[in-house]
Amino acid sequence: MNADPQLRSAAAVSSALVRGEFSVRQFVEESLARVAAREPSIHAFLSLDSVAIRARADELDAARARGEPCGPLFGVPVALKDNLCMKGTVTTAGSRILEGWRAPYDAHVVSRLLDAGAVPFGKTNLDEFAMGSSCENSAYGPTRNPWDEARVPGGSSGGSAAAVAAGFVPLALGSDTGGSIRQPAAFCGVVGFKPTYGRVSRRGLIAFASSLDQIGPFARSVADVRLADSVLAGHDPLDATSRRDTASLRKTLPHAKSALEGLRIGIHPDYVASLPAGATREAVTRTLDASFARGAVAVDLADLDLLTADALSIYYVIATAEASSNLARFDGMRFGPRVDAHDLISTYAATRGALFGSEVERRIVLGTFGLSAGYADEWYRRACERREALRAAYAAAFRRADVILGAVTPETAFRLGERSSDPLLMYLSDTLTVPASLAGLPSASVPIALDAAQLPIGLQVIGSEGADALVLDVAEAIESGAGFPSAAAAGGTR
């Protein structure tokens, strides 16, 4: 256990608070002090309402004093990506078009966190409407990576990943459309998890691409991610894509000692051997070899078309098409500021043109292109067909393997500004994460090593639809073998 109480696991913090080792109020005061010291250089948060945080802490302390039952996240500060609605809280999605907008209700995940006794702790920075891989597309300035402040934290959930890596909070929520939890988790040396599509309700998540968006947790350990997942997952009648069978999906391995014993690990060259030579490929290969030494069995999936250049194209056609439709609601009539023009239609256009950032504009126009008359069949429909073929290829892979392991990103965190002028280069950051998104599969990123520049490297664990528990068991076994210093960027030791 870490000597610094602020760097303990969420589970340890919660049990210490339940035991009365210290009060929730004392704990959040120390968290706020830690944020005050380093947030000016990290910029993980878009808003942090210390008054509301203290009030929630006092409410929990009072409830405990009255002998009321304490939830599984009792007193645990949880940061929320700023595309998640929390009633009465300004929720911008990193965009000027939602500047000052106060959510009129709680997202399903926020209700669940509150029921579990958590303390919502700030709204974190993101690429505008979750569109980006570096957190540089936020209208409110970039977040910096706690491991090296000259580098990006990844995106789009960069603020949440950085908040956990910097030790501001033990848990944070993000959303993952094409890698927006896993890639920043890898860049920031924390654990990130995208559940099976439909396992966690999307109600109250500001939509980017509805058939891909999924909410998930960040933490400094797999155990904490599992704890958060047990709180977040469950059916919600107000999300039509929410699954009813989330409880039955929690299958575990029949292995007694380690999740790796007898585990069939699927290996595909696109996730490992075809990576550019360097620290990431070496670290992933080393981790795979260590897993085989611990009893796992390699299954060669090279004959399957699991990734290819196609996945990225399919993803960007579908995601931008859905985004162009989802973002049509932001027109200056019901939310945020309005830019007046001479009639209704030109007011829509003036508001959107003035208040959307350049990446959002690019994706809306690209999505409109893919859906426009004469192109929809060739682009959008074809992409949907290819998506089904990709899903079938993954289903075939999981008839032979229990999990697929590989890299999360081809390289470690890049420098701020290094890719921001080249959208295609930025999109390539998502190459290894979009397939699991397109196929709706559970996928975790777990830190395994540091490169020569002391930047974290993540390993991706992909499971079959519904095998969320297995993915986390495998990630935990890998975590225990890797010995990654997950609290190092926060000034602590593991």
Residues 170-209 close enough to bind other proteins by CB under 8 A: 197-198
21 lies in the site for other proteins, by CB under 8 A: no
- Binding span for other proteins by CB under 8 A among 14-22, 107-115, 339-347, 405-413: 339-347
Among the listed residues 27, 168, 208, 356, the single contact to other proteins using CB under 8 A: 356
Of the candidates 9, 14, 81, 138, the residue annotated as catalytic is 81
350 lies in the site for other proteins, by CB under 8 A: yes
Integer Cα distance of 470 and 231 in angstroms: 17
Count of residues engaged in binding other proteins, rule: CB under 8 A? 74
Distance of CA 222 to the CA centre of its chain: 14
Specify the 3-state DSSP secondary structure of 120.
strand
- Binding span for other proteins by CB under 8 A among 46-54, 174-182, 386-394, 466-474: 386-394
Among the listed residues 102, 329, 415, 494, the single contact to other proteins using CB under 8 A: 102
Residue 197 or 398: which CB sits closer to other proteins?
A: 197
244 lies in the site for other proteins, by CB under 8 A: yes
Integer Cα distance of 442 and 432 in angstroms: 14
* Least CB distance to other proteins at residue 388 (A): 5
- Binding span for other proteins by CB under 8 A among 17-25, 278-286, 376-384, 466-474: 376-384
Burial 449-467 (b: 16+ CB within 10 A, else e): bbbeeebbbbbbbbbbbbb
Peptide bond into 230 cis (omega under 30): no
Closest-CA residue to 265 (of 397, 447, 437, 440):
397
Of the candidates 31, 133, 138, 180, the residue annotated as catalytic is 180
242 is catalytic: no
Nearby residues of 143 by Cβ (< 8 Å), 6 or more positions away: 42, 43, 44, 124, 125, 135, 152, 153, 158, 159, 162
377 lies in the site for other proteins, by CB under 8 A: yes
344 lies in the site for other proteins, by CB under 8 A: yes
Q: How many other CB atoms are found less than 10 A from the CB of residue 483? A: 10
Bridge partners (DSSP) listed for residue 456: 450
Strands (DSSP E) contained in 197-290 are 214-219, 264-267
* Least CB distance to other proteins at residue 443 (A): 15
Residue 244 or 494: which CB sits closer to other proteins?
A: 244
Using CB under 8 A as the binding rule, the residues of this chain from 60 to 99 that contact other proteins are 87-88
Binding pattern to other proteins, positions 208-237, x when CB under 8 A?
A: --xx-------------------------x
142 lies in the site for other proteins, by CB under 8 A: no
Among the listed residues 40, 343, 399, 452, the single contact to other proteins using CB under 8 A: 343
81 is catalytic: yes
Tell me the CA distances in angstroms from 417 to 127, 141, 162, 363, 467, one per residue in order: 14, 12, 18, 20, 38
325 is catalytic: no
410 lies in the site for other proteins, by CB under 8 A: no
Residue 235 or 255: which CB sits closer to other proteins?
A: 235
Residue 101 or 187: which CB sits closer to other proteins?
A: 101
Of the candidates 31, 95, 133, 156, the residue annotated as catalytic is 156
Tell me the CA distances in angstroms from 422 to 132, 145, 178, 419, 429, one per residue in order: 12, 21, 18, 6, 12
DSSP 420-481: TT-HHHHHGGGTTTHHHHHTT--EEEEEEEE-TTS-EEEEEEEE-TT-HHHHHHHHHHHHHH
Specify the 3-state DSSP secondary structure of 266.
strand
Q: Return the active site residues.
A: 81, 156, 180
